Structure 1
Amino acid sequence: MKILVIQLARLGDIYMTWPALRGLRRMHPNAEIHLLTRPRFEGAVEGLTAIDRHLSLPVSTILAPLVQEEADVETSLERLNSVVEDLRAENYDWIINLTFSPASSYLTHAIQGLSTTVTGYSRYNDGTLCLADEVSSYFYAQVGIGKANRVHISDVFASMLDLQYVEQDWAAPALGNTAISLPDCYMVLHVGASEKQKSLSPQVWGRVINYFSKRYEGLPIVLIGAPNEMALAEEIQKAAPQAHFVNLVGQTKISELFSVIQEAELLVGCDSAPIHMASLTDTPTFNVSVGNVNFWETGPKASLGFIYRIEDEASLVPERMGEVLALLLEGQVSPELITRTGGLVSYDRPDTVIERFQWDFVQALYLGGAYPMAERIEIIQGAIQLQDINTFAMEQIALVPEKGLQLIGPLLDRAEEVIQNISQMVPELSPLISWYQAEKVRIGPGSLGEICAAALNVHDRMARHLEAYIPHEALMQEEEGVDGTL
């Protein structure tokens, strides 16, 4: 069997893919496994022995003709077609797209053959999105910022491949010794983040370290980061003149950080690749989660993983964070910290009533769990409204073969608007509406009759999910008809 795994996201996403790739190798020991990444992030593949071949998608080369003074679309397309033809010529038996992006779905479709099994996002022949497997549908519906999902991305990958992780899947690579000189005992601080808005300013880091260093006087702090973060490291050192720093920012390859992180007492940092590298070295991790980040999906997976959640830098009291850091090294877990746990949900943090309902609803929709109890009358009212518009939509879809889509289409569009509005007014019902929208996307090309039948099936299943929240009297009236006769 010849397998291609596509991971075109950033460094951290590639490291989160390592356990899945190792599990894939265990499940298919004789398979030829290729991994496709972007050249910019190929350093995250060094030390990964689970693959037979690493391929790079030359994005810059493909796009270069488009960013000239006079865009050369033809040359860009020629280069893209050449890459696609080379990949298609590999004749992969199984393509696994772990990127979950529109661009990756087009690429997957372009290189798959008639007999290729595809897992992850792809495209139908008419160009519409294809969610061929259940996990891809789940990802489309429930994963992302503002969604109810509580499953870590690495565990989503495992579900896609139908595998169970073992301890060896979460291991640091054997890269040998480096020439880096380190203290016997130290803490690591990554000075940057995957995106600027997810990071803290050098001045805030300085205040955190100033307070921490008073408690842990003499404990060296090893600074790590990319070459473009060297100025940040210098500012942090100026802001915390009493601390003992070892500045390695811009002086290491990405793979060399494994040995630095592995021996640390603690890794501290915002959302970035080192957080996920620490999951592979099982280094205790203090993840500062800032702003528009879903820590449920991308937080640390080290056994001792802790998340310090803040909405923005302005809401942070740096001295308190320094104290929490010091207490953690003394073995005390402060109440502000979100702690790592086992099981389906990776972290222990109290949910709001709405968040708890949403996650329980997701489990009911996908895992056969019990429907959560409606504790607000608005949920019942929203469910009744949703059932009414769902019934209306089914009635209109049934009329499409007779009256045509041109006449019925605007009515169905209006029904979709109402359904989306209910999702915003009654957030508890949003998981069901996201499920519904994903199931509609899954309806592939076909004749008008086939598409209508598939759409009616989706609406019928939504009606059955809603029954848990429709009072018995309302169901009886719907079954008997408006005039009360069967």
Structure 2
Amino acid sequence: MNILLVQTSFLGDIVLSTPVIKGLKTLYPDSRLSLLTTPQGAELLKNDPLLDDLIIYDKRGCDSGLAGMFNLIKNIAKKKFNVAYSLHRSYRTALLLRLSGIPRRVGFKEARGRLLYTETYRRTEFTHEVLRNLAIFRGERELDAFDDELRLFAPDDSLVKNELKSMVASVSPYGLVFPGSIWKTKRWSEIEYHRLVMALEKESLSVIIAGSKAEVDLCDRVAQDTGAVNLAGQTSMAELLWLCSRASFMVCNDSLALHLASAFKIPTVALFCSTVPEFGFGPWKNDRAVVLQSEGLACRPCGRHGRVKCPLGTEECMKAVRAEEVLHHLKALIKCWNIKSSECMDNV
């Protein structure tokens, strides 16, 4: 059996799709499994031992436009896949798979190009995105038969730059702080992030601030006049996974970082601003995670994916939670982690 799995969404969505990889190998243990994903997605999952091949779809780069799409179709057609499972719900993806000549194409009823699939299954009644993704198997087995743990694999130490290893060794144990998000209204106040980093230092807790190249200025402001190590824009995806696998705690927004924390079971305080966990993107299978959010605001949530700016101009949901509250919950989480007791979570 030659299987193609398709997931070309945001990185956080890709992390929440990883149980499907194990699910396909559960159904078809002797199959060859390929993943069609973005360049960043390929970097994220390149160490997964269950994946035999990664096919990169750079839809915003070299594969953009009709010419890029048809080149990809030719490439996929040459591989002679027996079946494709598509977690991505765009019409473009459905058309791509149909034109690639894959005889069995499994997708979701909510997909825009659902008529181009040979089988479709409903996903919307599930409360978390992990379960919605696993709903792709509804026609083959009960969902509780599948392992729903997230799966990410940090690189071996030998593949990490010596400079990074030396720096981490000098500040360990450390916590990770991710102030960024693609959407501005999903970012907790940078002033409060700065206050939190200063408070963590007073508690003798080392902090590494992380983020993408687009978030360097934001992270610089958070790190200003503190002793925190700012690695924003300086790490590869593999190095970021390596950092997460060794972190003692994390503070982040509703973003990729939260899902990395779930995968590595990091004690985490997650700040939800304009979005809410009920959308299905909250912590998953991490009993050391706490969500903080501003309660009672009639204007939230103001959008499923966040916004470029606050519609009311108040940014109240981004400022209501204070650094002191985050620190309180974080210290309780770290204490629980250190004594390896789930009982104390009642007090967090």
Of residues 110, 116, 120, the one that matches 2:104 is: 116
Structure ID, larger Rg: 1
Shift of 1:300: 1.8
The alpha-carbon deviation at position 172 of structure 1 amounts to 4.1
Deviation at 1:261, TM superposition (A): 1.7
**Could you list the runs of 4 or more consecutive aligned residues of structure 1 that deviate by over 6 angstroms after TM superposition?**
none
Q: Deviations over 1:330-355 (max 9, x none)?
A: 3279xxxxxxx9xxxxxxxxxxxxxx
Q: Helix, strand or coil for the counterpart of 2:322? A: helix
Which residues of 2 match residues 23-422 of structure 1 at below 5 A? 23-59=23-59, 60-63=61-64, 76-113=65-102, 115-120=103-108, 121=111, 123=113, 132-135=119-122, 138-139=123-124, 151-161=127-137, 162=141, 163=143, 164-166=145-147, 169-177=149-157, 178=160, 179=162, 180=164, 181-182=167-168, 183-210=171-198, 212-213=199-200, 216-238=202-224, 241=225, 243-301=226-284, 302-310=286-294, 311=300, 313-317=315-319, 321-331=322-332
Distance 1:332 1:245, change over 3 A: closer
SS of residue paired to 2:16: helix
Query: 3-state DSSP class of the match of 1:85?
Result: helix
Q: Is the 8 A contact 1:289 1:295 kept in 2?
A: no
Give the Cα–Cα distance (whole angstroms) in 1 for the partners of residues 3 and 50 of structure 2: 12
**Alpha-carbon deviation of 1:287?**
1.4
The Cα of 1:225 is off from its aligned counterpart by 0.8
SS at match of 2:235: coil
Post-superposition offset of 1:35: 0.3
Between the aligned partners of 1:203 and 1:324, the Cα distance in structure 2 is 14
Q: Is the 8 A contact 1:190 1:269 kept in 2?
A: yes
**RMSD value, Cα:** 2.9
Provide the C-alpha distance between the structure 2 equivalents of 1:154 and 1:328, rounded to a whole number of angstroms. Answer: 26
Opposite residue 289 of structure 1, the aligned amino acid is F
* Residue-by-residue CA offset, 1:197-225 (whole Å, 9 max, x unaligned): 32234334223434x337x4321111011
Q: Give 3-state SS (helix, strand or coil) of 1:84's partner.
A: helix
Q: What is the one-letter code of the residue matched to 1:97?
A: S
Q: Secondary structure, in 3 states, of the residue corresponding to 1:331?
A: helix
Letter in 2 for 1:304: R
TM-score (norm 1): 0.56
Measured in 2, the distance between the counterparts of 1:293 and 1:131 equals 34
Once the two structures are TM-superposed, the CA of residue 246 in structure 1 deviates from its matched residue by 1.3
Q: Provide the C-alpha distance between the structure 1 equivalents of 2:280 and 2:196, rounded to a whole number of angstroms.
A: 26
Aligned residues: 301
Cα distance, 1:33 vs structure 2: 0.6
Which has a greater percent of helix?
A: 1
In 2, Cα distance between equivalents of 1:317 and 1:23 = 41
What is the CA deviation profile of residues 316-368 of structure 1, one whole-angstrom value per residue up to 9, with x for unaligned ones? 556x53222222233279xxxxxxx9xxxxxxxxxxxxxxxxxxxxxxxxxxx
d(CA) in 2 for partners of 1:186, 1:267? 9
Q: Matched residues in 1 for 2:131 and 2:240: separation?
A: 24
Gap runs ≥5 in structure 2: 295-299, 301-309, 335-341, 343-348
| Distance in structure 2 (CA, Å) of the matches to 1:54 and 1:255 | 16
Structure 1: where are the runs of 5+ without partners?
64-75, 143-148, 334-340, 342-486
Contact kept in structure 2, 1:109 and 1:123, CA below 8 Å = no
State TM-score, norm by structure 2: 0.76
